[in-house]
């Protein structure tokens, strides 16, 4: 990848050093950043069209973090199997330990930890599932030999900023924060949430709790979600759907939906 970038001749050596040594992508042009993104995906065998990575500003540097699509593909590529070895509360912290094993028999362990202080009901349930998801994704990245942040970690790091739209990304030349407006959820995202809402048989109160838990703020309705928040809500709903389908007979999962934003 270094040779490919250098051979282009259009990237200043100082800029190249910032990208490859310091991990700062903010100095690249959109075209160079796209090339880098695709090269990373190609080197790992990932499909770039599924957007396995997104951008985050961390320590004033623009870098990539791994999304669910990344870890799901890596588990398949490397034949990584994951099992939970422990779940335990430590004061206000709930800790899950996951052990992963690849096809060569190499194994590793990682933990996922969340703060459960003062949480009850669905808030607590979502936090427990998040801890398990963190542990599984972290051990997957570790076994794949990647030091990437996972998206379950990215939104909990102080002073970090997830880039939610192309305008923010292209304007962020210094790696610092910008005041660009966040991109609203798309029609496709709204439809997916609506489908899952009906499929899971959720009430409006259930949906509000899930959105609050995933977004770390009060959300009055689905239409108030940003695109980034909508992705998190969809991931949470899809995980609930998969859990609900395990062991259920064919046809037992209710199909349905509501009009986009209606009632939620």
Beta pairing partners, 66: 53, 150
How much is the mean pLDDT over the chain?
A: 80
CB 137, CB 71: distance < 8 Å: yes
User: Which pLDDT score is estimated for 5?
Assistant: 47
- Dump pLDDT digits (tens) for 190-245: 888 988 888 888 888 888 889 888 887 888 888 889 888 888 899 889 888 776 55
User: Residue 198's closest CA among 126, 253, 160?
Assistant: 253
- Dump pLDDT digits (tens) for 35-63: 889 989 999 999 999 999 999 888 788 88
- Dump pLDDT digits (tens) for 10-36: 556 666 676 777 778 887 888 888 888
User: Residue 55's closest CA among 170, 197, 140?
Assistant: 170
| Domain boundary assignment for the chain | 2-71+151-171, 79-143, 187-245
User: Residue 124's closest CA among 154, 165, 92?
Assistant: 92
CB 96, CB 130: distance < 8 Å: no
Tokens of 159: 């002073």
User: Residue 200's closest CA among 259, 251, 241?
Assistant: 241
User: Which pLDDT score is estimated for 194?
Assistant: 87
User: Which pLDDT score is estimated for 161?
Assistant: 77
């Amino acid at each position: 990848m270094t040779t490919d970038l250098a051979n282009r001749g259009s990237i200043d050596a100082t800029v190249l050093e910032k990208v490859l040594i310091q991990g700062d992508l903010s100095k690249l042009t959109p075209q160079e950043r796209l090339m880098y993104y695709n090269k990373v995906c190609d080197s790992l065998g990932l499909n770039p069209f599924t957007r396995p990575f997104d951008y985050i500003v961390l320590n004033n540097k623009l870098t990539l973090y791994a999304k669910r699509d990344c870890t799901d593909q890596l588990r398949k590529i490397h034949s990584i199997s994951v099992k939970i070895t422990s779940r335990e509360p430590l004061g206000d912290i709930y800790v899950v330990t996951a052990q992963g094993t690849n096809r060569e028999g190499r194994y590793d362990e990682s933990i996922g930890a969340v703060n459960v202080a003062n949480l009850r009901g669905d808030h607590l349930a979502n936090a427990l599932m998040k801890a398990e998801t963190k542990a599984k994704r972290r051990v997957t990245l570790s076994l794949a030999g990647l030091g990437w942040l996972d998206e379950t970690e990215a939104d909990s790091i102080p002073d970090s900023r997830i880039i939610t739209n192309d305008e923010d990304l292209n304007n962020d030349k210094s790696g610092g924060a910008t005041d660009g407006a966040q991109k609203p959820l798309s029609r496709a995202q709204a439809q997916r949430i609506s489908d899952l809402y009906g499929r899971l048989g959720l009430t409006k109160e259930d949906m509000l709790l899930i959105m609050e838990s995933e977004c770390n703020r009060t959300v009055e309705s689905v239409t108030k979600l940003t695109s980034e928040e909508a992705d998190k809500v969809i991931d949470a709903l899809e995980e609930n759907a998969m859990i609900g389908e395990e062991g259920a007979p064919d046809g037992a999962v209710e199909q349905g939906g509501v009009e986009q934003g209606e009632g939620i």
